[in-house]
């Protein structure tokens, strides 16, 4: 339920036409599995040239970029802590 609400928030942002896939991943995506209290989301976009625009839109809805030197672009991590903890895995293909 919380994932579906957040998915709608992401899809409503400008630039969502570049999103090729958005999925609920991780332990909370498995019904009945004991999981940490955070929603993990995979977001794929079609074209790396739209990266800066899409990142700006995610920031507008409360996501913060988390630098991960061990995972350079095309993989980026974002987090949002309200109203729930969300972890967003942002990748290009």
Domains (range + CATH), the chain: 2-92 (3.30.460.10)
Report the predicted TM-score, pTM, of the whole model to 2 decimal places: 0.85
> From CA 36, how far away is CA 77, in angstroms rounded?
18
Strand, helix or coil for residue 22 = strand
pLDDT in tens, 7-51: 999 999 998 888 899 999 988 898 888 878 889 999 998 877 777
Nearest to 90 by CA among 24, 42, 58: 42
Q: What is the pLDDT of residue 36?
A: 81
pLDDT in tens, 46-92: 877 777 888 899 999 999 988 777 766 678 889 998 767 999 988 87
């Amino acid at each position: 339920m919380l994932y579906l609400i957040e998915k709608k928030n992401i899809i409503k942002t400008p630039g969502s036409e570049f999103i090729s896939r958005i999925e609920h991943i991780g332990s909370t995506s498995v019904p009945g599995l004991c999981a940490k209290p955070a929603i993990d989301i995979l977001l794929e976009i079609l074209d790396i040239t739209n990266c800066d625009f899409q990142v700006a839109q995610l920031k507008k809805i409360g996501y913060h970029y988390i630098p991960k030197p061990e995972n350079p672009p095309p993989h980026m991590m974002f987090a949002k802590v309200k109203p729930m903890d969300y972890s967003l895995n942002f990748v290009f293909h």
